[in-house]
Chains A and B, each alone.
Chain A
Amino acid sequence: MLDKLANLDRRIIYLIVLISVIVPLLNPMGLKIEPSESVAASFQTYEDLPEGALVLMSIDYGPSTAVELEPMALAACDQLLRHNQKVAFMALYPEGQALTNRLIGRLKELYPDKKYGIDYVNLGYKAGNEAVPLKMGLDFRGQFPTDTRDKPLSEIPMLRSVTQLKQFALVATYSAGFPGALEHIRITASEYGMPLVVGTTAVQTPQYFPYYDSGQVKGLIGGLRGAAEYEILTGFKGAAVGGMEAQSIAHFTIAGLIILSNILTFLQFLRKEEQ
């Protein structure tokens, strides 16, 4: 029995993890989620913006990481539009432009009275990695002469007077890797002194805590957990809170399996010692 359990077919473990994810998704339990300090700081940074403030939001993720980053970006957009602030989307990530269109599609459903060009605009993807935020600070209109509809910035009502990066009240990046948050931290925040909020995937979150701790980043939202905390703070009904329940149960299951496998290994060791 001991050997059988110790050499359990890995497909059974996959199945157990799969069930632990599916069950909470189908039967939400309402687990309590407490917002952490760095997520609350992100929320407060958005809250402190004056009405009508311009925010530059960099959508630096692709479809594979959208499950973690899209809920936090959507909750932030909801918070901004609710307070009559304006969002200009850009992307350092090639897939970012398409995912911005998806985000805008959701915003249109949520806020049918908000108009493209007046409340939000898509400046699209720019190739060049570090060179993009660098040129943004030197010559914003040179970097983004038009939006994705080829309309010059001078003809877009919300950006008509914008010629410099400094005219934005805040920059936010929802980033899955390179290029993304690190480029914005190094150039947009450190070089040009822009206030920056960062949302990242869980894998990257530990990498960015030192920047939050040093004050280079105003707020940090990490992974699905961070997105769920953000939804709790904003009151936005998104996908992250439901997903976080599945995450918690899956973590319990994995932790349980790790403990069980350690116990089995220890028992096997004891049996060998006896023999």
Chain B
Amino acid sequence: MDGYATEQIVGLWISGFLTLCVFSFLMGDNPFYKFAEHVYVGVSAGYWMCVGYWGTIRPEIVEPLKAHNPVALVPLTLGIMLLFQLNPKTSWVSRWPLCFLVGMYAGLQIVFTMDSMIIEQVAASIRPLLVWDAAHNIDWATTIVNWILVFGLLTGMIYFYFSVPHTGVVFGTGARIGIWVLMIALGASFGYTVMARISLLIGRMLFFRDEFWPMVQATLGGG
């Protein structure tokens, strides 16, 4: 049908219809929105079940067991133990695999977080407060940026230091400036969030412009 396969046409109509159903929530709650919401929840649950089986259970348990790898029995046993949570009388059994999960994640996070998010970040924040360029003149741009970074970091940390009262020149003024630094950072972050939300709207509009409407024109001869 004018270059479009039937499943493509059906898929695009479903996609377009569900997009409009979700947008209809802007006018208030209604049956179309409820329909789209329920479809989304149902499809997501089905999708995650498939991902769980094909992405985890099959490659990590079924296939190793088929290859007579006994190590796969460990995650299988721990996984089955987690299901004991469903019965209040046997829920204590599930604490053991949970302990394993918490311990493993904590171990991984401590090592990698310490290295990449603390040591490397602290090292990167130790900046010269007077920067010289190749001609031995002061590089004002970099110098000012470094001052802002170091000053912002210190005042931000003072704001979150609660072991002494926020009074006096160092802790009182420092904490007040720290709030301003945080507010500026949060403002910039909120700006990015607005941009992301508008991007989602643009995404759906681009879908209608570039995918849905050309299909309608091709199949119904509207263009």
| A246 at the binding interface (Cβ < 8 Å) | yes
A247 and B198 contacting across the interface, CB-CB below 8 Å = yes
Question: In the complex, what distance in Å separates the CA atom of A94 from the CA atom of B123?
Answer: 35
B60 and A127 contacting across the interface, CB-CB below 8 Å = yes
List the A residue with the shortest CB-CB distance to B186: A206
Task: Known A127-B55, A251-B198; judge A246-B205 contact (CB<8 A).
Answer: yes
* Interface membership of chain B positions 181-193, coded 1 if the CB is closer than 8 angstroms to chain A and 0 otherwise: 0000100110011
Task: Known A134-B108, A186-B113, A191-B112; judge A243-B194 contact (CB<8 A).
Answer: no
Least CB distance, B78 to chain A, in whole angstroms: 14
Question: In the complex, what distance in Å separates the CA atom of A21 from the CA atom of B194?
Answer: 13
List the A residue with the shortest CB-CB distance to B57: A127
Main secondary structure of the interface of A (DSSP, over half): helix
| B46 at the binding interface (Cβ < 8 Å) | no
A239 and B198 contacting across the interface, CB-CB below 8 Å = no
In the complex, number of A-B residue pairs with CB atoms less than 8 Å apart: 114
B195 and A11 contacting across the interface, CB-CB below 8 Å = no
Which of A41-49, A154-162, A218-226, A262-270 lies on the face that meets chain B?
A: A218-226
Least CB distance, B157 to chain A, in whole angstroms: 14
Task: Known A25-B206, A190-B112, A239-B210; judge A94-B196 contact (CB<8 A).
Answer: no
User: Which of A105-138 touch B at CB < 8 Å?
Assistant: 125-127, 130-131, 134
B195 and A224 contacting across the interface, CB-CB below 8 Å = yes
B203 and A223 contacting across the interface, CB-CB below 8 Å = no
Task: Known A189-B116, A190-B120, A191-B112; judge A203-B209 contact (CB<8 A).
Answer: no
Question: In the complex, what distance in Å separates the CA atom of A26 from the CA atom of B206?
Answer: 10
Main secondary structure of the interface of B (DSSP, over half): helix
Question: In the complex, what distance in Å separates the CA atom of A94 from the CA atom of B50?
Answer: 10
* Interface membership of chain B positions 23-53, coded 1 if the CB is closer than 8 angstroms to chain A and 0 otherwise: 0001100000000000000000001100100
**8 Å CB contact of A64 from B47, B55, B200:** B200
**8 Å CB contact of B199 from A14, A68, A190:** A68
B55 and A202 contacting across the interface, CB-CB below 8 Å = no
Interface residues of B (CB under 8 A from A): 26-27, 47-48, 51, 55-56, 60, 105, 108-109, 112-113, 115-117, 120-121, 123-124, 185, 188-189, 192-196, 198-203, 205-206, 209-210
Q: Which 8 pairs from chain A and chain B are nearest by CB?
A: A67-B203, A214-B124, A190-B116, A202-B196, A186-B112, A202-B195, A203-B196, A127-B56
17 A-B residue pairs with CB within 8 Å:
A26-B209, A67-B199, A67-B202, A127-B60, A130-B109, A186-B115, A189-B116, A201-B199, A202-B195, A206-B188, A223-B195, A224-B202, A239-B210, A243-B199, A243-B206, A246-B198, A250-B198
